[in-house]
Amino acid sequence: MDKTSKWLEVRLPLWRDVAAKLDSVERGRHADPEAVTKVIAAYPEIARDLAIARREAPRGPLTRQLERIYLELHRSIFRSPSRMRHDLAALFVTDAAKIAAALRWHIVWVTALFFASASAGAWLVNQYPELVGLFASEAMIEQVQSGQLWTEGLLNVVPSSLLAVQIFTNNISVALFALVIGIFYGLGTAYIIGMNGLMLGAVFSYTAQHGLAERLFEFIAAHGFVELSVIMVAGACGVSLGEALARPGRDTRVVAFQRASMRAAKLMVVCCAFLVGAGVIEGYVSPNPSYSLAIRLCIGLGYLALFVIVLSGALGRLPRPRE
Amino acid sequence: MDGTLKIPSVTGIDVELRIAGPGGRSYAFVIDWHIRVLVALAWMIVSGLAYFGSVRTIPALDATSSDFIFIVVLPAAALYLLYHPVLEVLMRGSTPGKRIAGVRIVKRDGGVPGVGPLLVRNLFRLVDSLPFFYFVGLATTLLTKQSVRIGDIAAGTLLVYDDAHAGTFEDAPSSRGIERLGLERAELVRDLLTRWPELRSDARTTLARRLLEHEETVPDTLGDEALRARLERLLS
């Protein structure tokens, strides 16, 4: 028997064994410690075998199989530990607050842009009421002119559950779009925030002209504070993406963009969870006339307080995960 | 175009992965798109028939409209929209379409991407799909060195080819076969036998004859199957 065939005869059972053990380690939720130890010990051995196989048969199936198993070993040994539950809890308790603190000036600027646009919208419609057609649909305008809000009687048309789902999916789409469109150096996000501000200011001003502003405020009191706050945070995340591309600092643009994207996505998980809650409130509480303004304000401000608590890190610290 | 991803290792033995280009990516996407459309449509038809006794597409605003939306429309929309993020997380960087196309998602260090990067790359589909038919995504894969779309840039991921032809250690050549042919030639024979069904008849016959002629005389009358049997005998 020549050297190569002897080598193959000796090594083949080990490769088969490692392939089977690696499969069980990767698939099982709780891996057998003995199998894990064997897999780790096999890593340098497989590396050596791969070097020999590359010399003897550079492009053969055996070399490719060894490369494959070597790569799987490499991935398995060097991957970060999976702590899904802990990471998710950490996101809400500590990480979201850290990211929000890092983005505080972005949030301030986006909020300022939103209120400036809202003021501009309100002023425009106050001075030139006919311009409301730019911001509201014909049906909405007609209803306001007849002394009714478009939100009244909503529950007679659409059930609360459906309304809630429609609202939070729409709001989540807007928030996510406001974030990703920040890739255009933040201008896309600025446009979305500006347009939303203009629209809100214009609609409020128009309803005020017809004596309906108080009823509109009553409608949005329960869900609006968190909904708008989330849009501001999403906008801030979008602007931070644009900033990473425009001013990457010491990193390359790609690295800065990646870091900003991952950071923003984490914060958006928290924001989307709050948008689901806001959608449920908007579906069940806001259109229901049996809730008084005081109750609506309690719900709205209470929910806003929870959002602020999460983003300020006031939930405390999380115990270290068990290794 | 930089077509490979080099994965450095502490052992000093590096591995290179072939990066999938726009063709491989589009092929995988088209397969996945068909699967998710068919699955969503199948859900709409089956649930519509099971619950309402008929296939409806536009809900009328009546007492059953919210049932229709919750039972038929929303699950179908979820199947269509969450297909990529959910399957990529569950299948650790793959989807049925990617498997068929022989590609998978990896991190820039060759590792399996976690939940975060996979969600980020899917989030940026909102930009990649602008203004229609994934124009931005396709343009960036054509223009970037590693054929990545914006979602991949944001998540730090790449699409690489999975070696589907590698086979398993179970069909490794025998010691006698290696002794007879040498490892390199035995591997060539094995490779040819693995690819036998995919090759054209004239191509595999020519290759088989060339390999066999080193070991024995091959009569011109030998057919396709006889050549294959002789190759298998060489390895046994």
- The residue ranking higher by pLDDT, B167 or B179, is B179
Among B5, B174, B175, the residue to mutate for chain A (most A Cβ within 10 A): B175
**Would the CB atoms of A71 and B15 count as touching at under 8 Å?**
yes
What lies within 8 Å, CB to CB, of A265 at 6+ separation is B116, B119, B120, B123
Here the tokens at position B5 are 């991803």
Contact B235, B186 (CB under 8 A): yes
What does the pLDDT average to over A283-296?
A: 93
Here the tokens at position A304 are 């806003």
Summarize pLDDT for A108-143 with one digit per residue, the tens: 999 999 999 999 999 999 999 999 999 988 988 998
Q: How many CB pairs under 8 A join A and B?
A: 147
Residues B58 and B202: their CA atoms lie apart, in Å, by 56
Q: What is the mean pLDDT of chain B?
A: 88
Q: Please report which confidence band the pLDDT of residue B61 belongs to, taking 50, 70 and 90 as the band edges.
A: low
What lies within 8 Å, CB to CB, of A302 at 6+ separation is none
Residues A309 and A307: their CA atoms lie apart, in Å, by 5
Is the pLDDT at A210 greater than 90? The verdict is: yes
- The residue ranking higher by pLDDT, B58 or B3, is B3
Residues B186 and B188: their CA atoms lie apart, in Å, by 5
pLDDT of residue A278: 96
Cα distance from B131 to chain A (closest Cα, Å)?
Answer: 12
Q: Please report which confidence band the pLDDT of residue B62 belongs to, taking 50, 70 and 90 as the band edges.
A: low
Contacts of B69 in chain A (CB under 8 A): 162, 165
Residues B92 and B49: their CA atoms lie apart, in Å, by 35
Look up the ipTM and state it.
0.87
Residue type, A306: L
Here the tokens at position A109 are 């600027």
Residue of A nearest to B111 (CA): A75
What lies within 8 Å, CB to CB, of A72 at 6+ separation is A22, A26
Is the pLDDT at A187 greater than 90? The verdict is: yes
Among B187, B188, B196, B231, the residue to mutate for chain A (most A Cβ within 10 A): B187
Phi, psi of B104 (to 5 degrees): -150, 160
Cα distance from A161 to chain B (closest Cα, Å)?
Answer: 8
**Alpha helices, DSSP H only, in A91-223?**
96-102, 104-127, 138-145, 154-157, 160-180, 187-209, 213-220
Q: What is the largest distance, in Å, between two alpha-carbon atoms of chain B?
A: 82
How distant is the alpha carbon of residue B92 from its chain centre? 13
Tokens 């990545």 belong to which residue? B148
Contacts of B124 in chain A (CB under 8 A): 180, 183, 261
Here the tokens at position B164 are 């589907």
Summarize pLDDT for A74-84 with one digit per residue, the tens: 988 888 877 88
